[in-house]
Amino acid sequence: MHLVALSAFWMFSWKAFWTFFVLQWVTGGLGITLCYHRLLTHRSFKLWKPLEYFLTLCGVIAYQNGPIKWVATHRLHHARSDQPNDPHSPTAGFWWAHMGWLFAFNEELDNYDRYKVYAPDLARDPFHRFVNATHGWYQVILGIFLYLWGGWPVVIWGVFLRTVFVWHCTWLVNSASHIWGYRTWATSDQSTNNWWVAFLTYGEGWHNNHHAFLRSARHGLAWWEIDLTYMTIRLLTALGLASHLQLPSAQQKARAREPASLPVGQTGVAA
């Protein structure tokens, strides 16, 4: 995927570029960040069911596995964050947290009967079970449509380069946002708020905020912490498509606040 993605720079066209630009938001911003993470994993809000299913398909096209496995892995990460058996903690090194963990077989996360217990709500849903079992095909279907619409340049930019770009944006939340940045809240892990990861991931880089308030639909809690995903959720709420937004209370914030933020880069994590 990475090698083919490099060929995009020799096959540039504006049609291909805008295909990449739109699809990285649809798959990474709407599919992974809004749907897979804030909706399906943490149930930070409720969404009109047909729209939930559509956005799940957007997440599947990001090619980061099916919804049940993705949600199970992320819930397990929070249960053991930066502790033994955390699936992707940078306590084992930056590259392990970023992508190395994906290449190691994990009986707990690579066996459906094992990992479905961490996402029983999704495992009970026939749609999510079907999509989880067939997740690899949707990228192929998209590639066929893109080829018929714009030829190989659009396929290279819209599938290969876009997939690799969204992969690394997602992985930076697991790696960089547990190493570099500042801490506002006294969490038991090494999560940090990282502005440039937040920029790349539509607000996911405000990761210390997220670890402090797992169910919060809003990750950017300070006025300067821009959170485009939360803005999108608010728009869906105004349109009557989303409801029951979860936000931290003043009491929860008071209990979670840390006396002083750690300087950038000083989290005690091996790189």
Residues 20-49: tens digit of each pLDDT: 999 999 999 999 999 999 999 999 999 999
- List own/partner pairs for 82-90 with CB under 8 A and 24 or more apart: 82/178, 82/189, 82/190, 82/191, 83/189, 88/174, 88/175, 89/178, 90/174, 90/175, 90/178, 90/179, 90/190, 90/269, 90/270, 90/271
Gyration radius from the chain CA atoms: 18
| HSE toward the beta carbon, residue 266, CA cutoff 13 A | 5
- Confidence at 258, pLDDT banded by 50, 70, 90: low
Neighbour tally for 137: CB within 10 Å: 11
Average pLDDT, whole number, for the chain?
A: 93
Q: The whole model's pTM is what?
A: 0.93
Distances (CA, A) of 68 to 65, 78, 101, 110, 238: 8, 16, 18, 11, 29
Residue 152 has pLDDT above 70, yes or no: yes
Cβ–Cβ < 8 Å for 31, 66: no
The tokens of 32 are what? 């992974």
Residue 168 has pLDDT above 50, yes or no: yes
φ, ψ dihedrals at 19, nearest 5°: -65, -45
% of residues, the chain, pLDDT over 90: 90
Residues 120-145: tens digit of each pLDDT: 999 999 999 999 999 999 999 999 99
- Confidence at 261, pLDDT banded by 50, 70, 90: very low
Residue 148 has pLDDT above 90, yes or no: yes
Axis-axis angle for helices 49-60, 67-79 (nearest 10):
90
- Confidence at 269, pLDDT banded by 50, 70, 90: very low
